[in-house]
């Protein structure tokens, strides 16, 4: 039975959009959230992707002020880079061309083997 109930879904990179995630969270959250949520690219991008996925699967939108969102950010033992620094350092996307291949991630995201890709 291992893996029979598991379905892998590949999601296009465009759905991991931090700006749209920030707008969506602000519109849907019952209460105002702290600035640490809006500074986290991962939280915003993942929220947008997840909420859009739910909308697509169910065929229903989300009502404004309908989600109770809690966020815990423990940074012990982690390097934290805020969204603006990530943009300035071109970690995910090139600031001029908006091409992911010309970002730091794009440059190091090249391997010769599938094992290397999984390790990356």
Give which of 84, 83, 54 is closest to 66, Cα–Cα.
54
- 67 by Cβ neighbours in 10 Å (0-12 / 13-18 / 19+) ranks as middle
Give me the mean pLDDT over the 55-69 stretch.
Answer: 88
Percent of the chain with pLDDT over 70: 88
CB neighbourhood size of 89 (10 A): 12
Closest CA to 71 of 16, 33, 32, 17: 33
Which pair of structure tokens corresponds to residue 101? 């291949």
pLDDT at position 1: 43
CA distances from 117 to 2, 46, 79, 106, 112 (A): 24, 21, 23, 12, 8
Query: pLDDT category, 120, cuts 50, 70, 90?
Result: low
Q: Is the pTM of this model over 0.85?
A: no
Side-chain half-sphere exposure of 19, counting CA atoms within 13 A: 3
The secondary structure of 31-66 as a DSSP string is SPPPHHHHT-HHHHHHHHHHHHHHHHHHT----TT-
pLDDT in tens, 77-103: 777 788 888 888 888 888 888 888 888
């Amino acid at each position: 039975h291992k893996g029979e109930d598991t379905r892998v879904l590949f999601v296009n990179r465009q759905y991991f959009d931090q700006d749209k995630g920030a707008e969506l969270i602000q519109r849907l959250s019952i209460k105002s959230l702290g600035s640490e949520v809006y500074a986290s690219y991962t939280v915003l991008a993942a929220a947008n992707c997840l909420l859009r996925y739910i909308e697509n699967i169910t065929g229903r939108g989300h009502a404004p002020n309908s989600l109770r969102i809690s966020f815990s950010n423990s940074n012990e033992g982690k390097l934290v880079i805020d969204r603006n620094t990530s943009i300035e350092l071109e970690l995910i996307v090139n600031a001029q061309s908006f091409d992911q291949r010309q970002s730091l991630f794009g440059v190091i995201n090249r391997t010769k083997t599938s094992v290397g890709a999984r390790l990356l």
